[in-house]
């Protein structure tokens, strides 16, 4: 029940296209859903995050869509650029004190020039 | 911009040896974490630390692992007797309220 399922495992998109990565969860106690971007040899870096009281959050070219009833959330990268090529992880956390993040399995995004 | 720093960036050790991975969290943060990532796999939670004690730990964090915050700034992960399967990237993270910030990681190679 603690798992976060992420798909696809890998994604290839042309420059300027839209990249879409999906995640699903079971634990309804999760109430914070961040997305992290990771470049090779680096630590995960927070990209954007959402709480379940909103259905969408947009920051620049990055949008999170959240469907509470379906227990799904997704990351949309508009106008994808070669510099966006990285591994993207969704995550979820139960609020309260020192609660840890539960990560999805990751999506390796390649944006072709 | 404040950041979480980890040392060393790469550690090679022989099986059975003890290793200590070091982290300096962001200074006003209260919650501290260690995660690990085996090559090509997802990031896995090891342990959380708050108010000078372990808050939660995963089943990965067995008796061979320990954490300390010895001096109010450093946060360390010790592996007492390393095994081959401990080879991974180890990430330290810290947070104040909501957002968790990760360090660059220590690549541990056990030979």
Residues in chain A: 113
Q: Report the residue from A32, A89, A98 with minimal CB separation from B43.
A: A89
Q: How far is CA B16 from the centre of its chain?
A: 19
Residues 6+ apart with CB under 8 A from B18: B78, B79, B80, B81, B82
pLDDT single digits (tens) B50-92: 989 999 999 999 999 999 998 878 999 999 999 999 999 999 9
The answer to whether B53 faces chain A, any CB pair under 8 Å, is no
Which residue from A minimizes the CA distance to B91? A43
d(CA B21, CA A44): 18
Picking from A33, A29, A11, the residue whose alpha carbon sits closest to that of residue A20 is: A11
- Residue B50 has a pLDDT of 92
- Residue A97 has a pLDDT of 63
- Residue A1 has a pLDDT of 62
Ramachandran angles phi, psi of A34, nearest 5° = -95, 160
């Amino acid at each position: 029940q603690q798992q976060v399922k992420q798909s696809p495992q890998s994604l290839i998109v042309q420059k300027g296209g839209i990249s879409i990565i999906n995640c699903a969860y079971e634990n309804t106690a999760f109430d914070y859903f961040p997305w992290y971007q990771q470049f090779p040899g680096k630590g995960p870096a927070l990209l954007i995050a959402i709480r379940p009281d909103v259905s969408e959050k947009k920051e620049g070219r990055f949008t999170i869509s959240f469907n509470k009833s379906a227990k799904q959330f997704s990351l949309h990268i508009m106008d994808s650029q070669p510099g966006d090529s990285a591994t993207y992880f969704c995550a979820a956390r139960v609020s309260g004190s020192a609660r840890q993040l539960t990560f999805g399995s990751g999506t390796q995004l390649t944006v072709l020039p | 911009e404040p950041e979480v720093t980890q040392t060393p960036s790469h550690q090679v050790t022989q099986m059975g040896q003890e290793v200590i991975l070091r982290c300096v969290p962001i200074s006003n943060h209260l919650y501290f974490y260690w995660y690990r990532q085996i090559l090509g796999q997802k990031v896995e939670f090891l342990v959380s630390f708050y108010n000078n004690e372990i808050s939660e730990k995963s089943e990965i964090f067995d008796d061979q692992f320990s954490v300390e915050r010895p001096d109010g700034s450093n946060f360390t992960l010790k592996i007492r007797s390393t095994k081959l399967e401990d080879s991974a990237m180890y990430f330290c993270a810290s947070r104040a309220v909501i957002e968790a910030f990760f360090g660059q990681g220590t690549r541990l190679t056990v030979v």
